[in-house]
Structures are given as C-alpha cells and as structure tokens.
Structure 1
Amino acid sequence: MHRRPSDATNLLVRYATDHRDPRNIATHMVGIPLVVFSLGLLLSHPALMTLSTAWGPVNLTLTALGWLLSTLWYLSRGLPGLGLLVSAFNGGLLCAATLVLSEIDGSGLEWGLAALCLGWLCQRAGHYYEGRKPSARTDAHALLIAPMFVVAEGLFALGRLQGLKADIERQAGPTRLRNLAMPAG
C-alpha cells in the first residue's frame, strides 16, 4: 500500500528517527504536554470574538481556532482513531490551561512562558541523551507531529497500535539507550 508522505505513519516514522532513546522519549512525554498547555495559556487572550450561547458568553480565541484547525489536520492523516485521541489529548490540555487562567490574575503570560520554557528544557535534556538536535528546530511540522508522537507512545505502552509501532520500528529502528561516552551516530 502506497502512503502519502503526510500520512500519520510516515510522519511518525520521520519524527521517531530522531527520538529512539527511551530517555529522550520519556522527557518528551512531559515536555510536549507542557508546550501544548503553554500554548493554551499564551493564545487565550485576547478573544477574537464573543459568541452568545444558551450557556452564556463564549470567547473564540486563537487557542480554540488552533485546536479546531489541528483537529482537522490530525483527522486527515489517515488514522482517524489516533487523530481523535490526539485532538482529545490536546483539547484536555487546552481546557486545563483555560481553567488555570480562570484562577490567576492577569493574562497568564508569565505562566505560559514558564510552561513553554520548562517544556522546551525537558525536550532539550532528552535530546542530550539522543545526541541529536530537536526536530522542531528543523521542521515546523514537528510541532504538530510531537503531540501525535506522545499519544502514540502512550498507546504503545498500553499495548495498543502494535502494528503502527512495528512499522515505526522497522523504518526508524528500535528504541535503544545511547552510550553517552560515545559520539552520536
């Protein structure tokens, strides 16, 4: 079966190529959610428009618009079940950010920047173990693929999507601990 270069499997294989050390993957399981959460904090102000609903006013923000557009992107990658789970994962993090914003004073800029920096530092630490620079620096698509990678890795750990895991490992290689005394290869 011929796959499009932008289908979920090919995107995950490309991302996984730079993420084979389990320590790097573990740091991404913390860092990527922090980055998504930070985007929820940073993009929630100002409201683009306010909609009147039966439940009261609802603000349309860049966070909501970004979530909607990314959901459409995830659902169009050829694995709709995974796309739904990634969208739910991102949506949960963005809702959590909205709840945090409702409890703090101000725009959340400081909290958003702190979460973004912490998430980035977690990933940077992981790439030390990997011996490779972060993909987001070389590929803007990596910003969309990273949450999909985190959700897929979580599902793999639960024994799900083993066919997808096998495809990724066949093409990107198995996970392995890099000997830190040796140069990256």
Structure 2
Amino acid sequence: MKSAAEQLSTYKSVHLNRRNIQTHFIGIPLIIWSAFLLLATIRVPLGNLGETSLGLILGGLVLVYYVRLHVKLALGLTLFLIPVLYTTELVAHFAYAVWLALAIFIVGWIFQLIGHRYEKAKPAFVDDLNQLLIGPFFLMAEVYFMLGLEKSLNEQITSIAIEKRRMLEAQKAR
C-alpha cells in the first residue's frame, strides 16, 4: 500500500490551483453524501441482529483504510463521516432517496469538473481509481494544513506534487 504522502502528493499534483481546491470543498462532500445515501438504500440482513446498510459497512471499511494511511487525518474523517452516515441513514427510508442521491451526485461532479477547468489538468482518478478514495483524505489534509497542523506532511507532499506536475506537463508537451 502506498503511503499517505505518496497518495496525497499524487492527488495534489493535479490540485494545485486554489479555485480547483475550493470547488472540491463543495463537490467532494456532495458526492460522498450522495454515494452514502445510495448505499444506505441497500439493506444487508444480519440474522438475529436485524439489518444494516451497505453504506454503514463500506463507511467502516473506508475508515479502516484511512486509519492505515494516517491516524490523525482518519480522526478528522471520522468526525466528518459520522454525520454523513447518520443523515443518509435517515433519508434512505424516503421514497425519493435514490433520485435525491443521483441529483446531488451530478451536482457534485459538476463542481469537480468546473474545478478541473481552472486547474487545466485531468482528475487524479483518471489514471488511478484509488484516487477516488483519496479525494476526501486530501480535503481533510487541507483542513489540517489550514489549521497549521501536519506542517511537515504539507511541505513533503507539496514539493513532491509540484515535481509530479512538472513531469506531467513535460509529458503532455511532447
């Protein structure tokens, strides 16, 4: 498994433009909420224990992945995901839940695509699907950096990301 710094520097290499990052602070939470809403509509029987949703199961698995990457960032993501999981579990029982999830999902991706127009770079997941999981991780890292936390991680990933971006642009110029 690639380290947190490797994953974040790859993601940051196509997220250096401040306006792109700002659109991602809208788009990614919308996409996450809508994806968990869709997953919450899929119920999983637990025998005598009743049932749960696929959203709760996958939410737990994703958090385990984040803990393995970086415990401190995973703590922030846990604080973010708890209300996401709670609210999507509530809304999943309404008849319009799937349509609401699809509409919000589309709006979230519109914000993402607008951001990448500012960036003039393709989204990170185009070359590595795992980067879809790194988007929320990246935003949490950005929140930590804005708060003055994890300064050495910020310096490390930024320098690597700039070099990766130079290499990408050099390849594109050929």
Q: TM range, normalised to the smaller chain?
A: 0.7 to 0.9
Q: Which residue of 1 aligns with 2:64?
A: 72
Residue identity matched to 2:45: M
2:10 counterpart of 1:20: no
What is the rounded CA distance, in whole Å, between the counterparts of 2:132 and 2:111 in structure 1? 15
- Farther off after superposition, 79-88 or 111-120: 79-88
Superposition pairs of residues 1-185 of structure 1, within 5 angstroms: 6-50=2-46, 59-77=51-69, 79-101=70-92, 105-106=94-95, 108-173=97-162
Residue 120 of structure 1: how far off its partner (Å) = 0.7
Report the CA distance shift for 1:144/1:99 in structure 2 as closer, same or farther (over 3 A). same
Identity fraction in percent: 31
Report if the CA contact (8 A) 1:13-1:171 is conserved.
yes
> 2-side partners of 1:89 and 1:115: how far apart?
18
2:79 and 2:92 map into 1 onto residues whose CA distance is: 20
Give 1:81 deviation, angstroms. 1.3
Distance in 2, matches of 1:46 and 1:75, equals 25
SS at match of 1:27: helix
The amino acid of 1:173's aligned partner reads I
What amino acid is aligned across from residue 43 of structure 1 in structure 2?
L
Structure with the higher helix share, 1 or 2: 2
C-alpha separation between the residues in 2 aligned to 1:159 and 1:17?
Answer: 21
Structure 2 gaps, min length 5:
164-171
The one-letter code sitting in structure 2 at the alignment partner of 1:76 is: R
Q: Which residue of 2 aligns with 1:178?
A: none
- The answer to whether the Cα contact below 8 Å between 1:40 and 1:97 also exists between their aligned partners in 2 is yes
- Give TM-score, length-normalised by structure 1: 0.81
Offset of residue 136 of structure 1: 2.2
RMSD of aligned C-alpha atoms? Answer: 2.1
Q: Which amino acid aligns with 1:137?
A: V
Question: SS at the partner of 1:48?
Answer: strand
Distance, in Å, in 2 between the alignment partners of 1:138 and 1:91 is: 30
Go from structure 1 to structure 2 and tell me whether the alpha carbon gap of 1:80 and 1:74 turns closer, same or farther (over 3 Å shift). same
Q: CA deviation at 1:84?
A: 2.2
Please, which runs of 5 or more residues in structure 1 have no aligned partner?
175-183
SS at match of 1:154: helix
Residue deviations 1:24-64, cap 9 Å, x none? 000111111111100111111231115767xxx6x311101
In 1, Cα distance between equivalents of 2:47 and 2:9: 41
Q: Whole-Å Cα distance in 2 between the matches of residues 51 and 31 of structure 1? A: 37
